[in-house]
Amino acid sequence: MKAASVSNIKKELKHRSPEELLEICLRLSKFKKENKELLTYLLYEVDDEAAYIQSVKNEIDQQFSEINKSSYYFIKKSVRKILRNIKKHCRYSTKKETEVELLIYFCTVLKDMTPSIKRDQTLYNIYLRQIEVIKKIISSLHEDLQFDYNSELEHLTDN
């Protein structure tokens, strides 16, 4: 079965009653965890972005505390998983400020992690790649926000 385009789905949803829309949303939430997480964000957390960011930061802290640090192999796998999770939360929000804040926080925690990421080239490259992503996103923001975020970014790039 081929999926319909977003515009076709939008047109079809306009012709549905509120009860049918409710039933469609509930069925969507039953199929994938991501659908349920997105609905949770849209229904409960979209109004308080600061609380959402803080809850994601707490989740990041929790995930970093659970990393198996016995070898760099396990650290790399865990760091990539944390980064995938952050990207997923950024897609839910769609606000560039949220993405910048979460990525800056990720890089801060990663930089301060022991053992040092500078001792493993792959981990250090992940860190540098995210710094570049942050710079790119910051350049598309308002000037005042650019200044604030660039000053935070300077702390990350200082060695």
CA 156/CA 138 separation, integer angstroms? 14
Q: What's the predicted TM-score (pTM) here?
A: 0.88
pLDDT value at residue 4: 86
Q: Are 115 and 69 in contact (CB under 8 A)?
A: yes
Domain map (residue ranges) of the chain: 8-47, 48-157
117 to each of 110, 113, 127, 157, how far by Cα in Å? Answer: 7, 7, 8, 14
CA 4/CA 87 separation, integer angstroms? 25
Residue 117: CB partners within 8 Å, gap ≥ 6? Answer: 110, 111, 123, 124, 126, 127
pLDDT value at residue 102: 97
pLDDT value at residue 159: 58
Distance spanning both ends of the chain, measured CA to CA:
53
pLDDT means per 10 residues in the chain (159 residues)?
Answer: 88 92 89 90 91 96 95 96 96 94 96 92 95 94 90 82
pLDDT value at residue 58: 97
| H or E, element range at 119 | none
Q: How many CA atoms lie within 13 A of 113 on its CB side?
A: 29
